[in-house]
Amino acid sequence: MAVPPLAAAPVETLAPGTLSVCMFATFPPFVGKSDDGVWEGWDVEYLKTFAAAQGLRFQPVEVADFDGLWTRPGADACDIAASGIADLAARRQATGAAGVWSDHYYFVLRAFGVRKADAGKLTRATDLAGRTIMVIAGSTADVDARSRIAHDQIANVTIIGTSDDVENARRVRDAAEGEGPFAFGSGLGTVQYLSKKMGLVPVWSHCMMTPDGKVRNEPFSFIVRTKSTGVAEALNAFIAATPYGAGRGTEACPGNGE
């Protein structure tokens, strides 16, 4: 006689009946806010569905800066951190035992957005020489740009780190020819989304480079508060069974850079 599988243990969250999710509001189409201030985006909808499947109320927790977002669950600010967070060794080290990284749910490429007049002027890292670019501080766009500039010894590149991809795209759009930022760097999906909204052009899609000069894939994970028992296990089961709204992204890049 077959023994039926054990039922999954109930999850325990920071606040009973609520799944609190730390999110960075200016990283569309993964996470953003509508003009009415309503949270929206691929990560938002995915985790709303997960919360509903667990019988939990979805509660956004807004964070001002992307850098360090992955440490917030371990600091008891929320049960899960989300907003297109790439799984990097340095970030895992920062979360330590207080946070659990979920299975990968999406793979991203790097890209830049430029004005239409500049569409043919950025096809490789050396084209950034003498230019000003904008990125989210602490993001993988930031890591990739700095790594490539150092690796290729590219001169006179100014990197402006902010906390708002939407504003970065707007500043590129509004810059006069030969003045202001030349491009903004982000994930390909974000660059495509914001370029379409603002009349820019996505260019130079490429794999991420890390500070050691290695090129690697870039998978996204959610980070779960370790003390929110059962949540990580339930989330991994959900990821395995539930397609992400935007698909799996691009897995064409090399492995983890090793």
The verdict on residue 177 lying in a domain is: yes
For residues 103 and 221, state if they share a domain. yes
pTM of the predicted model as reported, rounded to 2 decimal places: 0.91
Which pLDDT does position 178 carry in this prediction?
Answer: 78
For residues 59 and 33, state if they share a domain. yes
The verdict on residue 248 lying in a domain is: no
For 138, phi then psi, to 5°, come to: 80, 0
Q: Please tell me the total count of domains within the chain.
A: 2
The verdict on residue 195 lying in a domain is: yes
For residues 87 and 155, state if they share a domain. no
- The DSSP string of 173-193 is HHPPTTSS-SEEEEEHHHHHH
For residues 84 and 121, state if they share a domain. no
The verdict on residue 34 lying in a domain is: yes
pLDDT digits (tens, 9 = 90+) for 33-50: 999 999 999 999 999 999
Domain CATH code at residue 146:
3.40.190.10
For residues 94 and 34, state if they share a domain. yes
**Rounded Cα distance, 145 and 133, in Å:** 9
The verdict on residue 6 lying in a domain is: no
For residue 241, give the H/E element and its range: helix 231-241
The verdict on residue 36 lying in a domain is: yes
Quickly list H helices, 67-134.
Answer: 89-95
| Cα dihedral sign, 40-26-189-102 | negative
Low-confidence ranges of the chain (pLDDT < 70): 1-9, 257-258
For residues 152 and 181, state if they share a domain. yes
Q: Which domain holds residue 32?
A: 18-107+217-241
**Rounded Cα distance, 110 and 141, in Å:** 7
For residues 73 and 147, state if they share a domain. no
Q: Count CB neighbours of 3 within 10 A.
A: 5
Angle CA(33)–CA(201)–CA(243) in degrees, nearest 5?
50
For residues 186 and 119, state if they share a domain. yes
pLDDT digits (tens, 9 = 90+) for 50-107: 999 999 999 999 999 999 999 999 999 999 999 999 999 999 999 999 999 999 999 9
For residues 98 and 121, state if they share a domain. no
**Does 29 sit behind a cis peptide bond, omega within 30 degrees of 0 on the bond before it?**
yes
For residues 229 and 183, state if they share a domain. no
**Rounded Cα distance, 223 and 87, in Å:** 9
The verdict on residue 121 lying in a domain is: yes
For residues 114 and 100, state if they share a domain. no
For residues 94 and 119, state if they share a domain. no
